[in-house]
Structure 1
Amino acid sequence: MTQKAFVRTEMLPEQDPPPTEAGIVGWIRENLFSGWLNTLLTLLAIGVIYYVLSGLLPWIFQSVWNAGSLDECREIMKATWGETHGHACWAVIKDRWLQLLYGFYPPYPVYPDANFGEAPVGHWLPAYFRPNLALVLLFAALAPVLFDRVPRKMLVFTAIYPFVMPWLMWGGSVWTPVGIAAGFAILFAVIRYGQVAMGFLLAVIVGVLAALLWWGLIMGYVTAGLDQIVPIAIPSVESREFGGFMLAILIGVVAIGLSLPIGIVLALGRRSDLLIIKSLSVGFIELIRGVPLITLLFVASVLLNYFMPPGTDFDIIMRVMIMVTVFASAYTAEVIRGGLAALPKGQYEGADSLGLDYWQAQRLIIMPQALKISIPGIVSTFIGVFKDTTLVSIIGLLDPIGLSQGIRANQEWNGIYWELFAFIALLFFVTCFGMSRYSMWLERKLQKGH
């Protein structure tokens, strides 16, 4: 009887996969033409993409960059491409891009008492040196917070930056930000060294009162005296000269930077067992979340002055920063509260079993995990807040949208529309896309096992 072998006794030589199943051809077959429905949808998508690009690419690349007005743009278009339509006039961006970025902020520092025709003080500096330096220092201050490979010693500069940035942007005596920083130093010193004797809550109250006493009554005399002894100052710039994308970044950075710690405190307060703290936190969050941001901006612009002492000059940009920060804090608090609620009860019990007190448990175990869970929601809130800074144009601040309206009202560029808003959209897209990419990178980095 003949026996048949069912097990191969030798290995077959390796062969290349079929050309239609590997490489770019295989990917296209699997993802774009795997069936009649996918084939139909792919062809429709190709048609839509072709239709959009056939109109968009000539508008971008067959455009005019050198012209002094919209009429001159149209004359150049007619001479170059005839009566065809769909050509952009990017000359308006070339003519006004500095205004869209910086508003009416002076390019060089100029003292108010300088005579007309004099060379501006510091004219040897690059144009817009102060806002550009503030932006570069912002990245340096954020680096140790955003990336763990940056030396931890840089956190000292991160703590100093909130006092350096306003001085660079608004100018004036250097002793004013130093005095403000001294108030915070008093606050933290009282909390750190007084909580042993007074308890944490009483130490916080005493520290806040001491800081308010310093800022309200003592700081003015001390900084005035120091300014007389060692006068160090840079030219002042009024808030009405701020504008453009610089103003959006300024409001957005301050609101994002302050709303995160305030949101953490509000989220903890909402979950507190103390009735007063919980009630105040819930009331604040629900009140702010129940009111549109534009209403808060109108309050900052018009109504807030009615609650200030007569003669008080409360800077409009500072008022807007406060309201945008308050708005962002309420939404951030709810996102973080969701992260806290998502943690299993065993994490709290584990912290108790280690003998950690409330703040140690929050700092070492609870809050890091809650913030990790909340990263997508937090970044989404920050992106929304940054885009909402365009609402300040409604209350008269000259952000990019407000400036675009002024440019369109100018006789030279009356009738221009898409080019201005495309440029503004590009600025916001680059910034928001960067925040989104960073959040995705951070999520991948914090994945378990990495």
Structure 2
Amino acid sequence: MSMAYVRDRDAPLRAPPVGTAGALGWLRENLFLSLGNSLLTLLLAVAIGYIAWGVLDWAVLRAVWTGADRAACAINNAGACWPFVWEKFPQWIFGFYPISERWRPVTAFLIGAAALVPMLMPGLGAKKWNALFLLVVYPVIAFELLAGGLFGLPEVETTSWGGLTVTLVVAVTGIVFSLPLGILLALGRQSSLPIIRSASVAFIEIWRGVPLVTVLFMASVMLPLFLPNGVSLDKLMRAIVGLSLFASAYMAEAVRGGLQAVTKGQTEAGLALGLSRWQTTRKIVLPQALRISIPNIVGIFIGLFKDTTLVLVVSIYDFLGIINAGLQDAKWAAPQTANTGYFVAALVYFAFCFAMSRYALFTERRLEPAGRR
């Protein structure tokens, strides 16, 4: 029999139809799949373009870039007043920190960034030692650099701190303390011991039922009453304690949701392998629960970072507070200075919050294969 018409290899692959692959295919699949989607895409594009053009026109095209006082910005149809930002920006970063000592918060932030970057990079090892440095050693170094009093560093009272320095100190400290405390509260709420479970439930519900503004007022006024004689905390420390306890209650509920999402069979499998209940929770259940809870945990972190603006109610000048204080300067009393200051504040807060959300998304994608297994 002749084998002349029997194919001995696969037919060559043909290119996909035009409009189903590449950039054109993505646009068609995601933005122009139907008539309704196409109309909605066009309406949103027009709205986004209109807003973007308005911001560009105000912040760049009609903006004032040079000047020494309000006269430069107090002109008709003027846009953003950037000279106001150039003059006030150092104060927005450091608050009332002495100018000659501003190298200290800069050094503290650089050390923290140098330690945090390897911690966030999955490919680098020594995570335990890195975490130990960030949680134990670095807070001592940062506090000594900022507060001074030892090693020949002049003492700087926390009342002189302000601006982005205070925002980062309050936010980072609140995040570091609220996460482990929230995990303990979540585990306590699921404990089989009635006393621990009731105490955890009471703590969570009480703190979640009180507005943060009230918590800050109470921390500023009532906390000193519960301290031993001769022990006192300044206003910044009181605000950090109140904010950390407040955030830990919400963190506990986020972690508890992750714990409930882990099937009971995971615990039974760990116990069947001879692990104790604590080992099963620590090595099997809790890692899965934290992976599931990443979106909620990051949402709480972002909310906590933005809630630092409320410390202004107890006379602590965070980043937004120091901007408001700068607006009282008669030298820059122009119509556009307030809008420009708030615009810069929005950009700074967006940058930090967007970075946290993007890294959380990266972590979710990296851990997704482990979840499928």
TM-score (norm 1): 0.74
Q: Quote the offset at 1:141 in angstroms.
A: 3.3
Q: Quote the offset at 1:442 in angstroms.
A: 0.7
Match of 1:154, as an amino acid?
A: N
Partners of 1:355 and 1:29 lie apart in 2 by 55
1:163 counterpart (107, 131, 140): 140
CA RMSD of aligned residues (A): 2.6
Partner of 2:288: 369
Unaligned runs of 5+ in 2: 1-5
Rg: which structure is higher? Answer: 1
Partners of 2:344 and 2:256 lie apart in 1 by 37
Partner of 2:60: 61
Partners of 2:10 and 2:172 lie apart in 1 by 65
Are positions 1:393 and 2:369 aligned together?
no
Partner of 2:356: 435
Q: Quote the offset at 1:161 in angstroms.
A: 1.1
Partner of 1:177: none
Residues 46 and 281 of structure 1: is their aligned pair in 2 closer, same or farther, counting only changes over 3 Å?
closer
Are positions 1:422 and 2:346 aligned together?
no
Partners of 2:121 and 2:22 lie apart in 1 by 36
Are positions 1:90 and 2:82 aligned together?
yes
Q: Quote the offset at 1:134 in angstroms.
A: 1.2
Q: Quote the offset at 1:290 in angstroms.
A: 0.6
Q: Quote the offset at 1:261 in angstroms.
A: 0.9
Unaligned runs of 5+ in 1: 1-6, 76-82, 110-127, 174-231
1:272 match: secondary structure: coil
Q: Quote the offset at 1:19 in angstroms.
A: 5.0
Residue pair 1:65, 1:94 contacting (<8 A) in 2 also = no
Partner of 2:157: 238
2:98 match: secondary structure: coil
Match of 2:36, as an amino acid?
A: L
Partners of 1:307 and 1:11 lie apart in 2 by 80
Residues 280 and 235 of structure 1: is their aligned pair in 2 closer, same or farther, counting only changes over 3 Å?
same
Residue pair 2:178, 2:245 contacting (<8 A) in 1 also = yes
Residue pair 2:92, 2:319 contacting (<8 A) in 1 also = yes
Residue pair 2:66, 2:72 contacting (<8 A) in 1 also = no
Q: Quote the offset at 1:314 in angstroms.
A: 1.8
Q: Quote the offset at 1:358 in angstroms.
A: 2.8
Are positions 1:49 and 2:48 aligned together?
yes
2:92 counterpart (76, 100, 111): 100
Partners of 2:78 and 2:293 lie apart in 1 by 44
Residue pair 1:340, 1:370 contacting (<8 A) in 2 also = yes
Partners of 2:356 and 2:325 lie apart in 1 by 30
Residues 32 and 440 of structure 1: is their aligned pair in 2 closer, same or farther, counting only changes over 3 Å?
closer
Residues 27 and 437 of structure 1: is their aligned pair in 2 closer, same or farther, counting only changes over 3 Å?
closer
Partner of 1:228: none
Q: Quote the offset at 1:92 in angstroms.
A: 1.0
Match of 2:285, as an amino acid?
A: I
Are positions 1:264 and 2:183 aligned together?
yes
2:340 match: secondary structure: helix
Residue pair 1:144, 1:155 contacting (<8 A) in 2 also = no
Q: Quote the offset at 1:315 in angstroms.
A: 1.2
Residues 56 and 263 of structure 1: is their aligned pair in 2 closer, same or farther, counting only changes over 3 Å?
same
Partners of 1:272 and 1:448 lie apart in 2 by 30
Q: How many residues align?
A: 360
1:344 counterpart (257, 263, 279): 263
Are positions 1:154 and 2:73 aligned together?
no
Residue pair 1:335, 1:377 contacting (<8 A) in 2 also = yes
Q: Quote the offset at 1:143 in angstroms.
A: 4.1
Q: Quote the offset at 1:93 in angstroms.
A: 0.7
Partner of 1:292: 211
Partner of 1:301: 220
Match of 2:352, as an amino acid?
A: T
Partners of 2:204 and 2:27 lie apart in 1 by 50
Q: Quote the offset at 1:154 in angstroms.
A: 3.1
Higher deviation after alignment, 399-408 or 416-425: 399-408
Partners of 2:125 and 2:26 lie apart in 1 by 44
TM-score (norm 2): 0.88
1:52 match: secondary structure: helix
Query: Where does 1:186-225 land on structure 2 (aligned, <5 Å)?
Result: none
Residues 276 and 144 of structure 1: is their aligned pair in 2 closer, same or farther, counting only changes over 3 Å?
farther
Q: 1:200-254: CA deviations, max 9, x gaps?
A: xxxxxxxxxxxxxxxxxxxxxxxxxxxxxxxx34111101111001101100000
Partner of 2:302: 383
Are positions 1:314 and 2:291 aligned together?
no
Partners of 2:296 and 2:361 lie apart in 1 by 12
Q: Quote the offset at 1:48 in angstroms.
A: 1.8
Are positions 1:140 and 2:101 aligned together?
no
